[in-house]
Amino acid sequence: MTGPDRLSLNTATIKHADLPTAVELAAGAGLGWVGLWRDRVAEVGLEVAAKTVAEAGLRVSSLCRGGFLTAADEDGRRSALEDNRRAIEEAAALGTGELIMVVGGLPTGSRDLVGARQRVADRLAELAPYAAEHRVRLVLEALHPMYAADRAVISTLGQALDLAAPFDPAVVGVVVDTFHVWWDPELPQQVARAGREGRVASYQVCDFNLPIAADALLSRGMMGDGVIDFAAVSRMVAATGYAGPVEVEIFNADVWAAPPGEVVRTMCDRWVDLVAPWI
């Protein structure tokens, strides 16, 4: 199955389009899936979002995002748990089992990376039963180490798997996002390990563009525009037996400025050339 029906359009890739437009473009291009951000869902409401996706014959590959679990104070802990419970409920209502978790960086002014990482472990343990109850998997996302301080203290796939280890693979999994992990010398071993441990919950593809954008968050690029060898990473993921959707999530000022329909066409062309043959 390497047709576009395996592709998923993440709404962040066409940031300025609303959810109905994203769904229409995805369905029109023959995609099988969409990946939804919570803000796009909130704009139309949970029920309408679920209905719009289903009526177009699509499924939701993942909901972005839960996480931000690193607050050091009790108020921060409580509100993070509350927000993540809402995200779990939303994922379930949208019919996806995969809630992407961007776990958060250092609290403002803190340099205690070890402590922040420990709090992620502690709060996963608090959330896991609620996720299991809703048949939603908490999908840990290792973010590129350049975001370790301000976005996510999980910096490698190996570390994500270590954090996932105490939990049932049906409840805590990992996402392989090429942008975040392509550089990792341990990648082949850790992707294989994720497969053995039954934790590959999502495969996301986008490129790592150079130079790094002035706003470092926006360096994600269309496949083929950057430095990543998609054949190499896709082969690793395929070898785990992963047969789920392949999601494209791009934060990039130029991509956002382009007409959404054109972005989706380019995405499909690049998929055919650079990813589909290997997955």
By the rule CB under 8 A, 214 interacts with its own copies: yes
Query: If you search the block for the tokens 């690793």, which residue do you land on?
Result: 236
DSSP string, the chain: --SGGGEEEEGGGGTTS-HHHHHHHHHHTT--EEEEEHHHHHHH-HHHHHHHHHHTT-EEEEEEEEE-----SHHHHHHHHHHHHHHHHHHHHTT-SEEEEE-B-PPTT---HHHHHHHHHHHHHHHHHHHHHTT-EEEEEPPPGGGTTTTBS--SHHHHHHHHTTS-TTTEEEEEEHHHHTT-TTHHHHHHHHHHTT-EEEEE--EE-SSPPSSGGG-EE-TTSSS--HHHHHHHHHHTT--S-EEE----HHHHHS-HHHHHHHHHHHIIIIIGGG-
By the rule CB under 8 A, 148 interacts with its own copies: yes
Where does this chain touch its own copies (CB under 8 A) — which range of 41-49, 141-149, 234-242, 262-270? 141-149
Least CB distance from residue 228 to its own copies, whole Å? 7
Site for its own copies in 235-274 (CB under 8 A): none
Size of the site for its own copies (CB under 8 A): 34
By the rule CB under 8 A, 159 interacts with its own copies: yes
**Window 11-50: contact mask with its own copies (x via CB under 8 A):** ----------------------------------------
By the rule CB under 8 A, 168 interacts with its own copies: no
Least CB distance from residue 26 to its own copies, whole Å? 28
What does the block give as tokens for 239? Answer: 């070898």
By the rule CB under 8 A, 75 interacts with its own copies: no
Instruction: Identify which of residues 8 and 155 has a Cβ nearer to its own copies in the complex.
Output: 155
Compute the CA torsion angle 2, 226, 221, 70 (nearest 10 deg).
Answer: 100
Instruction: Identify which of residues 52 and 209 has a Cβ nearer to its own copies in the complex.
Output: 209
By the rule CB under 8 A, 8 interacts with its own copies: no
Instruction: Identify which of residues 16 and 108 has a Cβ nearer to its own copies in the complex.
Output: 108
Least CB distance from residue 111 to its own copies, whole Å? 4
Where does this chain touch its own copies (CB under 8 A) — which range of 72-80, 113-121, 133-141, 241-249? 113-121
Instruction: Identify which of residues 55 and 186 has a Cβ nearer to its own copies in the complex.
Output: 186
Q: In the complex, which residues of this chain contact its own copies (CB under 8 A)?
A: 106, 111-114, 117, 144-146, 148-150, 155-156, 158-159, 162, 182-186, 208, 210-212, 214-216, 226-229, 232
